[in-house]
Structure 1
Amino acid sequence: MTAQVVLNGLVTGMVVALPAVALTLIYGILKFPNFAIGAMLTVGAYLALALNVYLSLPVLYAAAIGAAVFSVVAVGIDQAVFRPLRERSAITLLVASMGVSFVLENIVRFIFGNGARSFELPLARPKLVFGLRINNEQVVTAVAVIAAMAVVYVVLCHTPLGRAMRAVSDNPALAAARGIDRERIVRWTWVIAGFLTAAAGVLAGMDRAIDPLIGWNYIVTVFAASILGGLGNPVGAVLGALTVGVVEETSTLLIPPNYRQVISFCAIALLLLLRPQGLLGAQRIKK
């Protein structure tokens, strides 16, 4: 029983890892916590749902196309909303992201309504592996997340774009002095963040019903994972997501499932109190 709960927690953590990395990338480049990350997840899920249900595309194709489309939409949101506020404070950008969240959520409600929907998935019985029940959706989630994280790692660590992103994140002024186009890096950051978050929406929708609040149900966990790993640290975001996923799932052995996000709230409160930079975040000294 406990092993099954841990497995379920790891799968949940993998879903959370995608928007957590997206959140930490945006924070690393733009230095504000993007409160719209939950609504971005919701829109990604509904884009894929529309392609799957109305155009009869297989879920994986619908997910890839929907995530690609939303990555472009994410850049458009940045250019329309955040670019004019680029030099404002983090609080101003946070409030703007809240506005974006409400707008996106209500667009979804206007187009699709408030009812719950689901992907058209082939029915298959879970398989028993070493006594653990593993279904097809969990396998797809694991493969998709591992592949996505591998691509992000290669981009960040082994490409000129990744080196430029790290330079802008570490020292924007020095990066500009070296001729790095910050706005170009910002656009690519939104492309990556939009794709990851939309893909997470699809994976979440494969495990549960899709409704306009699906992203809202994940936002606390995503922030907890990012803060746990250290905002601005993608590796920390992944480890934080897996940790929070397992802890939330195992907590259901002791508390009702509806209260498991209390664990994430407690984690955020304790970390902000004891170690604001996160477990893997670097201490920043302000002069």
Structure 2
Amino acid sequence: MHDLLDADLWQLTANGLIRGAFYAALGAGLALVIGVTTRFHFAYALTYTVAPYAAYWVMDGLGVPFWPSALIGLATAVAVSVLLELGVYEPVARRAADRAMLAVLVTSIGVSTAGIALLQLRFGTSGLPFYGPEVVQHDLGPVRISNFEIALVATCLLLVVATAAFLAFTPIGRSVKAVRSNPGLAGVLGISVRRVGLVCFAIAGLISGACALWYGLLYTVQPTMGDATVIYGFVVAFLAGTRSSPLRALPVGIGLGLLEQGASIWLSVQWAQTAVFTVLAVYLAVLAGKGRMPRFQLVRPASPRKA
């Protein structure tokens, strides 16, 4: 019995690390969007979901192999993310003026709901047979892990580290950090706030699409697959900080993954998930008590300077 409990504990720890890396990547992408553009991008769930659906449509309808189809799915997620900012959030924020944050949040929820409903009309509400490379199970002592799970963790770590390196070492990345710190001053210095925002949405779309493709291979592809998962991205984004380095999302995401899996030893799945959101509620309550709640300002594109 003792050996069985030890085996379960090791397996749950491995599961927590895998899911934690997954949550960290999603949170890093969402934190970038919120911290730079101040958009509460709830339609992140839609960009997450469209990637595997686009890949499935290309594979099933056109007979394209998996890896080219996966690239098309990633490109679709990036395109949808950027188009949401250009065609939805930006016009809504411009018309709403000082109520832009609330207006964008409500619009984002509506767009996500409508987009997922369209996917349900086109593909149905049940899961799709999403197949790719052959799954191989590896036994590492008491832990069983698949090649998909290993690839998911590697992809998520790579995305977070690459995002941090992009912000630190590239000219566009430094522009992103400048806009995140002070959008008004960045605009005065000639940085295109609008272009920086689009770059952030593109990065978030890429991260969400990559995570969703591996999730679809591991579990299933269905229209509502992004709803609960992206909520974890919001939890990680707020706990790690929307104006901090993406690397901070790694310990936060892994901690949440371990908390979720550890809580499942004593609690049901639903209550284990509740434990994660309780952590966020307590954290926000502490910040509110200290008067340190984050304050967001509407980011407006800088007007062109006169010659």
- Does residue 33 (structure 1) correspond to residue 40 (structure 2)? The answer is yes
**Residue correspondence of structure 1 range 115-130 to structure 2 within 5 A:** 115-130=126-141
Instruction: For residues 53-110 of structure 1, give each alpha carbon's deviation from its aligned partner in whole angstroms, at most 9, with x where no partner exists.
Output: 3344444433232112221221111111111133533112111111121121112112
Give unmatched runs, 5+ long, in structure 2.
Answer: 1-7, 297-307
Distance 1:250 1:137, change over 3 A: same
Instruction: Check whether the contact 1:40–1:104 (CA below 8 A) recurs between aligned residues.
Output: no
Instruction: Check whether the contact 1:221–1:261 (CA below 8 A) recurs between aligned residues.
Output: no
Give unmatched runs, 5+ long, in structure 1.
Answer: none
Shift of 1:7: 0.9
Q: Which one is further off, 165-174 or 41-50?
A: 41-50
Shift of 1:43: 1.3
**In structure 2, distance between residues paired with 1:157 and 1:283:** 26
**Residue correspondence of structure 1 range 115-194 to structure 2 within 5 A:** 115-194=126-205
Distance 1:81 1:220, change over 3 A: same
- Poorly superposed stretches of 4+, deviation over 6 Å: none
**Residue correspondence of structure 1 range 1-287 to structure 2 within 5 A:** 1-87=8-94, 88=97, 89-233=100-244, 234-275=246-287
**In structure 2, distance between residues paired with 1:253 and 1:72:** 41
Instruction: Check whether the contact 1:26–1:32 (CA below 8 A) recurs between aligned residues.
Output: yes
**In structure 1, distance between residues paired with 2:259 and 2:153:** 18
**In structure 2, distance between residues paired with 1:91 and 1:285:** 13
SS at match of 2:225: coil
Q: Which one is further off, 88-97 or 268-277?
A: 268-277
Distance 1:187 1:115, change over 3 A: same
Letter in 2 for 1:245: G
Distance 1:284 1:254, change over 3 A: closer
Letter in 1 for 2:121: F
Q: Which one is further off, 134-143 or 164-173?
A: 134-143
Instruction: Check whether the contact 2:287–2:293 (CA below 8 A) recurs between aligned residues.
Output: no
Instruction: Check whether the contact 1:13–1:244 (CA below 8 A) recurs between aligned residues.
Output: yes
Distance 1:260 1:82, change over 3 A: same
TM-score of the superposed pair, with normalisation by structure 1: 0.90
Shift of 1:270: 0.6
Shift of 1:111: 1.6
SS at match of 2:282: helix
**In structure 2, distance between residues paired with 1:55 and 1:263:** 44
Shift of 1:257: 1.9
Instruction: Check whether the contact 2:47–2:78 (CA below 8 A) recurs between aligned residues.
Output: no
Instruction: Check whether the contact 2:135–2:148 (CA below 8 A) recurs between aligned residues.
Output: no
Instruction: For residues 115-164 of structure 1, give each alpha carbon's deviation from its aligned partner in whole angstroms, at most 9, with x where no partner exists.
Output: 11132134444111243211111111122122222321221110001000
**In structure 2, distance between residues paired with 1:19 and 1:51:** 25
- Please identify the structure whose Cα radius of gyration is greater: 2
- The percentage of counterpart residues that share the same residue type is 25
Instruction: Check whether the contact 1:220–1:264 (CA below 8 A) recurs between aligned residues.
Output: no
SS at match of 1:116: coil
Q: Which one is further off, 83-92 or 201-210?
A: 83-92
TM-score of the superposed pair, with normalisation by structure 2: 0.85
**In structure 2, distance between residues paired with 1:183 and 1:150:** 25
Distance 1:52 1:271, change over 3 A: farther
Shift of 1:265: 1.9
Instruction: Check whether the contact 1:48–1:63 (CA below 8 A) recurs between aligned residues.
Output: yes
